[in-house]
Amino acid sequence: MFRRLYNWVISLAASPYAVWALAAVSFTESSFFPVPPDVLLLPMALSRPDKALFYAGVCTISSVLGGLAGYAIGAMLYDSVGQWLIAAYGYGDNVEAFRQAYAQYGEWIILLKGITPIPYKLVTITSGFAGYDIFWFMVLSLITRGLRFYILAGLMHRYGNPMRSFIEKHFGLVLGVLAFFVIAGFAAVKFII
């Protein structure tokens, strides 16, 4: 099943809708969607290493714009939508501690959590809820999300063809490692916050 999904995403890179799909996933992941954009970015960059840096730019801009939507949810709709989203991910009990940490370490939280597999939507919603300065939120989001996506895309741009061969040869192992990091990101929030 996952092999078919991988092949579909690889073929998606040739589609005229590929960039739009990548932008949509990047936008929604920063505000409410559980699937990280890496799921599309990596196969698309593997398929077209020459466009990997362009794809990273699409991810970065879309993610920051989606982060603003998440910020708005936290700032204006926390009592309804924001609280429900955070509870749906199982972090409802820890939000107050996370919010208090923002008062002292807000910039570090945004920078560190934006580059890790920890769900970024938790950062965006809590930033709005905590009233973190929106200008600095955008600047720090641009830095951290850009760093994350450009590192991945740079690796794909430089080593795309050998990496694609490795991934296709060891697909099960790569899928297992990827699943581990996604699960570890969610678990880390549970234990860190």
Rounded CA separation 157/27 (Å): 23
Alpha-helical segments (H) within the chain: 2-12, 18-29, 38-47, 52-76, 83-88, 95-115, 120-130, 134-169, 171-192
Boundaries of every domain in the chain: 2-192
Q: Give which of 45, 10, 28, 190 is closest to 121, Cα–Cα.
A: 28
pTM: 0.77
Higher-pLDDT residue of 11 and 93 is 11
* pLDDT (average), residues 153-162: 85
Tokens 């995403």 -> residue: 9
The tens digit of pLDDT for each residue in 113-152 reads 777 767 788 888 888 888 889 999 999 999 999 999 999 8
Instruction: Check if the beta carbon of residue 62 is closer than 8 Å to that of residue 20.
Output: no
Q: Give the model's confidence band at 167: pLDDT under 50 very low, under 70 low, under 90 confident, else very high.
A: confident
The tens digit of pLDDT for each residue in 17-37 reads 889 999 999 999 988 787 788
Residue 11 has pLDDT above 70, yes or no: yes
Instruction: Check if the beta carbon of residue 153 is closer than 8 Å to that of residue 44.
Output: no
